[in-house]
Amino acid sequence: MYRSLADAIRDAEQKGISLARLALDTEAKDQGRPVEEIRAALRRALEVMRGAVERGMTGDLFSASGLVGGDAAKLRTGPAGPLAGTPFRDVLARALAVQEVNAAMGVIVAAPTAGGAGVLPAVLTGLAQARGLPDDAVIDALAVAGLIGAVVAERASLSGAEGGCQAETGAAAAMAAGAATEMLGGSPAQVGHATALALQGTLGLVCDPLGGLVELPCVFRNATGSAIALTGIELALAGVEFKIPVDEVIDVMGEIGASMDVRYRETAGGGLAATPTGRRLARERLVQIKKR
């Protein structure tokens, strides 16, 4: 797979093909597998993503600690806010839904990780539904997301323990922004700007889950990450350009992650995990492995 989004964008432009096509062809060549097989794997991923969105909307799922759950349903049935009736609110609901399923040991697609698994399904299935797009368009978008994620993995990191939450929900937002931009008709160059616009919005974001569990704030970070992805998409499709090239934004995300204090890298030593209430909740709710 590519190590530079600029290279991928240039190649797609020169060949006059979409980034989805470029990503699928490159993966097929790299892995020695037919494109159809890769599309089939992505189709299965999409089915699991849709299943998680649906399961999470029922409002009866809670994590073992009870710290998270039941909130996605509130966006479906709760009082209206300024975004009521818009795809934006629906995307937020979907992000919470998938992450609540994850916290309750349901089946999800780690994309790029389990902790950031809500953003991509929320943004892609939410916007595809709003626009009435066919599954093939969403599968193409997943390929673009995979391309962006692969570049982030090569140049920076996709692990909260290595790079903070910017490397998980931040990377997920960047992937979703770029992927949805092409899905909605944006050019390869616009995909680059959308990716950069989303990622710049999460630079420096720390990984600070209570008790080290993928629950709080992870569930909500997937909602705010989705909101940031939507911002990148809206701006890029309107023609906004981000002046720092996307590869450089990815590089700096890696640099910031590497220099981040260990307290902010999934150790529960800092951030929200170390607040008085964060510590108390972790103590009260964090059940320990018992001898049997």
Partner 1 sequence: MVSLLDIIGPVMVGPSSSHTAGACRLGLLARNLVGGTPERARIELHGSFARTGEGHGTDKAIAGGLMGFRPDDERLRDALEIAEREGLDYVFEKASLGDEAHPNTTRITLERGDRKAVMTGASLGAGRILVTEINGYNVEVSGSYHTIVLIAEDVKGSIAAIATILAEHEINIANLRLTRKERGGDAFMVIEVDDMPGEGVRDEIRALPWVRWAFRLDKVSA
Give the other-Cβ count within 10 Å of 261's Cβ.
12
Give the SS3 label for residue 84.
coil
Longest dimension (CA), the chain: 63
Could you tell me the smallest distance in angstroms from the CB atom of residue 153 to partner 1?
5
Handedness of CA 193, 198, 204, 209 (dihedral sign): negative
Query: Which positions ≥6 away from 3 have C-beta within 8 Å?
Result: 151, 154, 155
- Give SS3 for 265: strand
* Residues 6+ positions from 260 with CB-CB distance below 8 Å: 163, 164, 206
* Residue positions counted in the chain: 292
Residue 93 or 167: the one with the smaller Cβ distance to partner 1 is 167
Q: Which is nearer to partner 1, 211 or 232 (CB)?
A: 211
Q: How far is the CB of 148 from partner 1 (least distance, A)?
A: 8
Closer to partner 1 by Cβ: residue 243 or 291: 291
In the complex with partner 1, the residue whose CB is nearer, 161 or 237, is 161
Residues lying near partner 1 in the complex (CB under 8 A) are found at 1, 23-24, 27, 30-31, 38, 41-42, 44-45, 48, 63-65, 101-115, 117, 120, 142-143, 145-147, 149-150, 153-154, 158-159, 161, 175, 211-215, 286-292
Q: In terms of Cα–Cα distance, which of 240, 214, 233, 191 is closest to 98?
A: 214
Q: 56: which 2 tokens?
A: 């999470």
Between 11 and 234, whose beta carbon lies closer to partner 1? 11
In the bound complex, what is the minimum distance in angstroms from residue 240's beta carbon to partner 1?
26
Residue carrying the six token digits 């981040």: 260
Whole-angstrom distance, CA of residue 255 vs CA of residue 265: 14
d(CA 155, CA 83): 36
CB 218 within 8 A of CB 209: yes
Q: Cite the DSSP H helix spans in 238-273.
A: 246-258
Q: Which is nearer to partner 1, 114 or 133 (CB)?
A: 114
Q: Smaller CB distance to partner 1: residue 101 or 223?
A: 101
In whole angstroms, how close is the CB of 123 to partner 1 at the nearest point? 14
- Report the C-alpha gap between 203 and 256 in whole angstroms: 8
CB of 81 to partner 1, least distance (A): 28
Shortest approach of partner 1 to residue 158 CB, angstroms? 7
Smallest distance from the beta carbon of 110 to partner 1, in angstroms?
5
C-alpha closest to that of 176 among 115, 128, 124: 124
Nearer to partner 1, 145 or 249 (CB): 145
Shortest Å, Cβ 139 to partner 1: 10
